[in-house]
Amino acid sequence: MDIKEIKINCPKCGKNIILDSIPYWNYKGLVRCQGCKRTCSIEISGGRLTTTPELVYSLNPDFKSPPIPNYILEDFKEAIICYSNRAPKACIVMCGRSLEGLTNEQSASGNTLNEKIKNLHDNDVISDTLYNAFTKIRTLRNIGAHSSPTSIIQPGEDKKILDITKHVIEHVYVLPLLLD
């Protein structure tokens, strides 16, 4: 084994991702495949992979300059980082924050996120389906943000909320442009 580099198989395209062993000898985080440009999450201990590399969820790369307000995008990117680092509660809280940013940007009135979502729905800014999606994110966000013995995030719920949040953001900011 060449100790100067660590080779990892890209879970997307199968090409080798070659890492310098000195900075990556013990490492938990993200790496980018030079072949397919996708990012994956890895964990290396003592120069060896300890988990199967997992492809990291990301916004559709086709949207090179998405018309999504930067602060909403930044929160959503942070949600992706939390998900990739197996921090489900933090992931869901960041999804809720993205959603809150979206309701504010859409000039929703109300004091709580719940009231803002209702306001957008009452004013026909969001459909019944989007209203249900917003409510699902908000409910889980509350479980993620407030500690109690019964506030538990079930396995897989972070991925589901990340998916729903991505759909909501694309629906509000990207879909209207595609219809033009």
* 87 phi and psi angles, rounded to 5 deg: -120, 75
Q: For the residues of 11-61, what is the DSSP string, one character each? A: TTT-PEEEEEHHHHSSEEEEEE-TTT--EEEEEEETTEE-S--EEPP---T
Q: Which is nearer to Zn ion, 8 or 126 (CB)?
A: 8
Q: Which is nearer to Zn ion, 19 or 93 (CB)?
A: 19
Residue 168 CA: distances (Å) to CA of 29, 135, 159: 27, 11, 14
Q: Which is nearer to Zn ion, 44 or 133 (CB)?
A: 44
Least gap, CB of 157 to Zn ion (angstroms): 28
Q: Which is nearer to Zn ion, 56 or 164 (CB)?
A: 56
Contact (CB, 8 A) for 124 and 132: no
Q: Which is nearer to Zn ion, 40 or 126 (CB)?
A: 40
Q: Which residues of 40-50 are buried (b: 16+ CB within 10 A; e: fewer)?
A: bbbbbeebeee
Least gap, CB of 61 to Zn ion (angstroms): 13
Structure tokens at 13: 């395209």
Least gap, CB of 28 to Zn ion (angstroms): 20
Least gap, CB of 125 to Zn ion (angstroms): 39
Which DSSP state fits 146? S
Structure tokens at 134: 């917003």
Interface ranges with Zn ion (CB under 5 A): 10, 12-13, 33, 35-36
Least gap, CB of 40 to Zn ion (angstroms): 8
Structure tokens at 8: 């990892």
∠ CA 24-28-32 to the nearest 5 degrees? Answer: 70
Least gap, CB of 90 to Zn ion (angstroms): 27
Q: Which is nearer to Zn ion, 33 or 161 (CB)?
A: 33
